[in-house]
Structures are given as C-alpha cells and as structure tokens.
Chain A
Amino acid sequence: MRLEIRGLTKRFGSFTANDHVDLTIEPGEIHCLLGENGAGKSTLMNMLYGLLEPTEGEMLLDGEPVRFGSPGDAIAAGIGMVHQHFMLVPVFTVAENVMLGREQTRGLGFLNRAAAAKLVRELSTTYRLAVDPNALVEEIPVGVQQRVEIIKALANHAKVLILDEPTAVLTPQEINELMGIMRELKKQGTSIIFITHKLREVKAIGDRISVIRRGKVVGTADPSASESELAEMMVGRSVKLTVDKEPAKVGAPVLEVKDVTVVDPRGVQVVKDVSFEARAGEVLGIAGVQGNGQTELIKSLLGLVKPDAGEITIDGKDIRKHGPRESLAEGIGYIPEDRSHDGFVGAFTVRENLVLDLYRNEEFSRGLALRLDALEENAARRIEEFDIRTESMESTVNSLSGGNQQKVVVAREFSRPLKVLIASQPTRGVDVGSIEFIHKRIIAERDKGTAVVIVSTELDEIFALSDRIAVMYDGRIVGTVTPDIAREDIGLMMAGAHGPAEAAEATA
C-alpha cells in the first residue's frame, strides 16, 4: 500500500506543529522519520493514526484520499501504530491482549481464546516473532512486549506500520532483533514508518530518511549520508557529536559505596551488594538497560530510599541514614532520571524552580521570609548562564521545552558547591543542542574536581562522558570497564554476560 501525504498542516492556535508536510511511503519501504523532540513527528503520526484532525492538507492511500476521524478508521484502512508507551494490559496474556477490542466469542459471550492464541501463533511464525500466546504480558521482557504490540497491529491487517521511538526501551541486542523483524515485515510487503532521533539506527535500517525540523520536512536523505550530515539537517546547524574533554585528573575517592542492598516495597531485592567508588575529577558511568536497579541505587545515594544493607560514605562520613535534605547539604548534586516526576515542580515558575532546594539558604531567605529580590537576581543570572530559553523567569516550567526544563534542573544543581554530582539520564528527551551544552557543563564540573556519577541507558552518552564504566544487570554491577571497550561487549554485559572477559568470549 502506498501512503501519500500532501500539504498536511496542523495548527494549535497560533502554533503550527506541522507545516505543509509532504511524504510518500512506498509499499514495502522502511521510511525513517528523523527529528528532535518537539519537531512535530508525533503530531504528524497522530494525524495519520486518526488521533488528531489535520487543519489542512490530505492523505492518500493508493491514490484514494482518506480521512480518519478516529484510530478505528485508520486501523480499518490498514494503518497500525506501536506507541512509545505500550498499550497493553499487564495481567492479561498475549493472546488476550491481541484480541482486546475485537473479541471473538463462541456464542453466549464465551470468549474464543483458542482462536486468538492460534492467530498469535500464526503471525508469530510468519514474521518470526517468537511470542508465546499464553504468556502473561507482565512476565515477558520489554522487547517481547513490543512484539506483542506489533502482532496487535498485524492482526488488524496493518499494511503501514508506524513505530514510534521503538528502540528507546531496548537493549542493543533487542534492537538488533527488532531490526531483523522489521526486515522480515518489509520482505512480506508491509511498509514501516520508523520514528527516531538516533542517527545510528536510521542508517542501519532505513531505505529513505526524511528529516523533520520545526514541523517541516527539511529534506530527504539516503542511508548513505553521514551521521554529521543527518545531525546537521536535524538541528539546522553543525553539531559536534563527541564531547571535547581532557583526560581526567583523578583524585581521591569521594563517594564510596560498599555492599549496598535495596529491597523494594514488594520485597524484591532490586540492588544486590553493589560496591563502587566515585573519585574526584572523574566521571563514572553506570550503564545498563532500564530497570536493572539503577533507579533504586541512586535513590539510595540521596536518601530517598534507605538501603537495607551496606555502607555509603562521602569523604569517609557515613551518609547511609541521611534523608535527602542532609545528603544535599553534604554536597550531593542530584539530577533525577524523570525530571517531570521529581526534578521540578511544573506549576512553579522558572524563578521558583531555580531555588527549589536552595530557598532555605541565607542568601534566599531571612527567617520565614523569602528574599524575592535575591530569587529574581539568581534567576536572571542562571537563565543567562545556562541559556535557558524562556519567555520570562515567571513562566511556569511546564511551558518550557524538555531541553530547557532539564537546563533548569541542571542550573539549580550546579549552583551549589558540589562534592558529588549524581546525574541520571541527564539528557533524556533533550534536543541535540541542549545535550551538547549539558554534556559540556558536566565535564566542566568534573574538571572542577567533583566526583561525577552518570547513569544512562544510552550507550552513546556513556561513552561520550565516562572515564570508567560500571555495567549494571539485575541489580548487580557485573563489571567495571574503561571506555575503550567494544560496543558489542558492553551490550553483552548489559544483557547479563558476566565480566568483560566473558563478554569478549561470547562475541568470538
């Protein structure tokens, strides 16, 4: 099926999210849609999937103009979508999830589970998806859950499949598997729209690449284009993909973690006997697929959760029993992994968020009274210094773009003298320009002699920043390596192969 988009435009009030977008998706083509966060990729896809009504323009399927009032219309026309956040019921089996919304019954309202299971098995074999129809969704890995979403779309006879940032939650190995599946789908005639902001992936799998910037298609490229060319199209100016840094001047250990174990409220051990040290003037990267204990580990460092065993010290001082306030006072800078969840107060202004953990200081308050002039002066200074793009310091942080929200968090944490900086996913959902800036600031902080701990699921980021890399899998640190290790090896470690040596063996 050939999908054509002509002059598609979407306006929200005075804001134009998509401006006369033209795209053609040929049958059996993997068409990559490359763009930064907020470039308008999702708006475009939501129009394709019937979630949003276009302001202008038309869509044609095999030359016939179509209009979708709801996702139901889009599905009926043969368009399937795998959302970034899966739409699955965790306590249902794979087959039940697939039949959800179009349940077949055997009269009298009895569900025909056998037929659904058979359908899943057939699709799984045809496209080599290796999915067990009777497994509970909550018990299968994220990568397989994603394949369940693909099966759901295929069960609806999707001819055009939209994959929205599908690789964000996958290990490197799972990404390879997904690409295999995409090739298989392509061979059988399904067109795929692959949305991403990762350059490496579009080059690996794409047949054609369309780059979106500020709601417009700014160009189409072949996969043979170089990464820096693509990045330049995406951002609109030339970008450096690596971080300039001097070799680290490593000092004494500052943060020492010994045999820390964390048990979560469900009673599951999520961090198991983790030991490491972060040294002054050095970046320690903690790599790992999401959900392998990194979140709980760094929360225990700040005192948001109490470790059930082990020791945590800063400069030899025990901080295991500290709450967040004492830990911050001890000189920990903390950039949480999900900024909107616990990094800032969205309804607060930029001015207020910039002192969220500083307002008690003498500089910003006298007794009970806040010193508004000091808050304003601080805000003006930080906005300038960190290049926070905001209408004014009185704008709410909710109204800023992801990159600028993150800059608010970074600016706040960097405005105290730090001994240790703990940054989790410091550039998730942040545009390329801001990534560059935040990385520079992190390295500058390292060069000031701060011990830096970076937790990231993005290997590119880990490699760009780290002087040492610890890999976490299933709550343990399975190995600590230097950044000259091969990508494949670290990928295997992230998937649970113990130690660099073993990983190397496995690749051989």
Chain B
Amino acid sequence: MSTETKTETTPEPEEAQPVEAPTKRRPLRADEWLPSVKTTIAAILLALVIGAVLIAFSSQDVIETLPYFFSYPQDFFAEAGQAIGDSYWALLTGSVGSGHAIATTLVRSAPLICAGLGVTMAFRAGLFNIGAQGQLLVGALAAGYVGFTWDLPPGIHLLVALVAGLLGGAVWGGIAGVLKARTGAHEVITTIMMNYLAAALLIYCLGKNAFQRPGSDNTQSPPVFDSATFPTVGNLHLGVLVAFLAAGLVWWILNRSTLGFEMRAVGANADASRTAGMNVPAVYTTAMIIAGALAGLAATMGILGHHDSLSPTMAGTIGFDAITVALLGRATPLGTVLAGLLFGALSVGGVAMQASAAATPKELTQILQALIVLFVAAPALVQGMLRMKTTDENKTVMAKGWGG
C-alpha cells in the first residue's frame, strides 16, 4: 500500500482543503431532512382527514341528513362539506387569521416551546424526562413567590423573578439527574414521582399565608406585581421573545458546544462516551438541570407574562404536552419550536372552532394533536396508508429503555 510512505509526511492542507473545505458550514442536505418532514406533514394531513370525519358527525345539521341519506345523499355531503369547511376555516382564522390571533397563538405556544425544549434537551442526553410538569410547577412557585412578595424596582424585579423560576425548575430537574447519576434510579420513574411531589408541594404552599391571596377562600395566590411582569406589545408579551432566544441557545448548546457534544455522545452511546473519558453521571445531571430550568422558564410565561396566579390547575397539561411537542419536533430545537407553534395554534383555533357555525367541540383539537403525534410516532403506519416509499431515515425519537 502506498499510504505507508505518505503517512510520514503530513499531507499538505492545500491538498486536502479543496476536497473537503468548499462547503465550510455544510448545509443540511435535502435528502437528510426531507423524509422526516414529509412524514410529519403526512401525519398532520392524515390527522386533519380523520378530524374532518369527526367534525361532520359532530354537526347537528349533518346528523339530521342521515335518516334520508339513501334518498338524498347529496344533502349529507353538502352539509358535511359545509361543517368541515366552517370548522377548519375557523381553526385557521382563529389561530393565524389576524395580528391579534397570531399574538395569542404565540403567547399560547411560548410555554409549550420552553417546556418542550427541556424535554428535547434531556432526550438528546438519552434521558426521558417525564417531569416537565413538576419542574414547571416548582418554577412557578419560585417565580410567583418572588413576583408577589418581594418589592424590587421594575426590570430588576422581573429579572430576579425570572431567575427564580429557572432555578426552581433546575432544582427539581436536577434532583432527578443526581438520583440517576448517583444511584442509577431510572429517570422515568423519578420524574413521574417528582411530578406528584411538586403538585403536593404547590397545594401545601397555597395553604400557607405567605402564598394565599388576601380575602380569598380559593387555593389561589395573588398575581405578581406589575414590576415583575414581562413588558407587553398589544397582547404579546416579551416572554415569547425569551422563549425563542432559549430555543436558539439550546440549539447552540447541542450543536456547537462541548457540553452538547458530550450530551449527544452520552445519549447515543454512554459506554463509548465513558471510554472516551467523558463524565457520564455529570452529563446526566447537567442535562436534567438544564431541562428543569427550561421547564421553569415555561412557568414564567404564564406567571410573569400572563398575570396568572398560582393555583392547582394553573399549569394545565403543559408539562405533558411538552413531551408530545418534543416528540413531534423529533428532539431538535427547530422541530420543537415548530411543533410548539402548531400545538399553540390548534389550541387557540379550537376556541374559534367551537364558536363557528359548525359549533365543533374544542376537544376536537386535542384529538387532532393526539392523532398527529400517533402518526408521527408510527411512521410505518403513515407510509403504509399513503404508500410512501420507506426509508431508514424516518426513525422516531427513541428514548432508551428501562435498562438505560
């Protein structure tokens, strides 16, 4: 082999450069992302088709045509078409049809994006973080407490409350990370249990005078002082911008930093990472701390952005929707942002849909969300239904099993 002689002399960079260097920051090739984008879009379309059937059969006008369906089938189809058209038009205009609608969608999406980023981050380090909900609640407690108890100048107050929210989430996520790193306790179990603990902690705190809204019998805290809220433009608050900045930061950490390199390596092959000298337990802990902080950031969207007060139902199901958002976004920051926007739009549009002529129940949007995620999680199903060509690229996000 002629390489033998060649290896002694270092190959001149001039020689190697022209071959490899012209695409310095090589853009992602279309055939790499296209298949997964295709299946995602196909999943969304399929879900909309099934949703259309449900809309038709939930409309009173359509049901009334059924008894004489075989005599006048055109009545059924006309009414069904009308109902589906009305509903989906309302869904679209209600979520992105006007500046106000878009702003509402953005505000609704922001917490989903933040919490989803937390799940994404943990995913990439090989951890299945089910605990966004609990991390979010603790973050909300911390941010809220600072927001309605401390008296600080505007701006600084916001900043301190924001940091408190981040820290609250980080502590809660970090506990699961340390347990995993130190004892090997599986994060799926610990984070689920931490969710219960967080919910109980919230109720306990709301029973204390320090958190109780004066003159109210409900388990509800006062809203935060105005000095601790995000500045608003119309109905859009600045927190949304923070959410997008967070997405950029997560992208940078994952793809451009040594920390992200370690996380992705540990997530993909912990044994090889350990052999290469990485501190695997430390990576697990760090990933969970960051994931928790992002969930805490999600909490501040409501508390500091929306003037929400602390209450047992304050978080809704954001922490769990975050898991589906991250799954739909295939555990990439950009994907998570897009999925968060989609889910935000669906939830805002759902209200408009209910108010439309077809009066479609807003639960339909939840069905749509569930169907989309179902189809994304089972790409083979979608490909089978749409006769798409199978490729190996369409792998769904996989968390490690119980052994991991």
The interface of chain A, by Cβ under 8 A from chain B, is 302, 304, 323-325, 327-329, 334, 336, 341-348, 352, 356-357, 359-360, 365, 368-370, 372-373, 376-377, 379-381, 383-385, 387, 392-394, 433, 436-437, 440-441, 444
Contact = CB atoms under 8 A, between A and B. Distances in A.
B257 interface: yes
Given A334-B275, A345-B269, A373 B24 contact: yes
B44 to A, nearest CB: 26
Given A342-B272, A444-B7, A372 B256 contact: yes
A299 to B, nearest CB: 9
B277 A368 contact: no
Nearest to A324: B277
Contacts of B261: 352, 359, 370
Given A352-B261, A365-B258, A440-B4, A372 B272 contact: no
Contacts of B26: 394
A383 B7 CA distance: 11
A388 to B, nearest CB: 11
Contact of B272 (A302, A343, A381): A343
Contact of B265 (A341, A348, A380): A348
B257 A381 contact: no
B387 interface: no
B275 A342 contact: yes
A377 B19 CA distance: 11
B13 interface: yes
A437 B11 contact: no
Given A373-B24, A379-B20, A387-B3, A346 B274 contact: no
Given A370-B258, A440-B1, 20 more contacts: A304-B274, A323-B277, A324-B274, A324-B277, A343-B272, A348-B264, A356-B276, A357-B277, A368-B259, A369-B256, A370-B257, A372-B256, A373-B24, A377-B13, A380-B19, A381-B16, A384-B11, A387-B1, A392-B20, A436-B1
B279 interface: yes
Interface residues of B, number: 34
12 contacts: A324-B274, A345-B273, A346-B268, A347-B269, A348-B268, A360-B258, A368-B259, A369-B256, A385-B6, A392-B20, A433-B1, A441-B7
B390 to A, nearest CB: 10
- Going nearest first, the 9 A-B pairs with the smallest beta carbon separation are A325-B277, A357-B276, A380-B20, A342-B271, A342-B275, A347-B268, A356-B276, A345-B269, A380-B16
A312 to B, nearest CB: 17
Contacts, number: 104
Nearest to B266: A345
B382 interface: no
Nearest to A396: B268
B17 interface: yes
Given A325-B279, A370-B258, A437-B3, A342 B17 contact: no
A345 B268 contact: yes
B201 interface: no
B103 interface: no
A356 B272 contact: yes
Contacts of A352: 261, 265
Given A304-B274, A341-B271, A342-B274, A372 B257 contact: no
B257 A368 contact: yes
A385 B7 contact: yes
Given A324-B274, A342-B271, A345-B265, A376 B24 contact: yes
B101 to A, nearest CB: 39
A368 B269 CA distance: 21
Contacts of A343: 272, 275
Contacts of A347: 268-269
B355 interface: no
B269 A346 contact: yes
A235 B16 CA distance: 28
A343 B275 CA distance: 7
Contacts of B25: 372
A392 B10 CA distance: 20
Nearest to A393: B20
A394 B273 CA distance: 19
Nearest to A239: B1
A425 B275 CA distance: 16
A324 B275 contact: yes
Contacts of B20: 376, 379-380, 383, 392-393
A373 B13 CA distance: 13
Nearest to B13: A377
Contacts of A380: 16-17, 19-21
Which of B4, B264, B265, B273 lies at the interface centre, i.e. has the most chain A CB atoms within 10 A of its CB? B265
Contacts of B257: 368-370
B46 interface: no
B278 interface: yes
A441 B7 CA distance: 9
A360 to B, nearest CB: 6
A417 to B, nearest CB: 15
Contacts of A385: 3, 6-7, 11
A376 B268 contact: no
Contacts of A302: 275
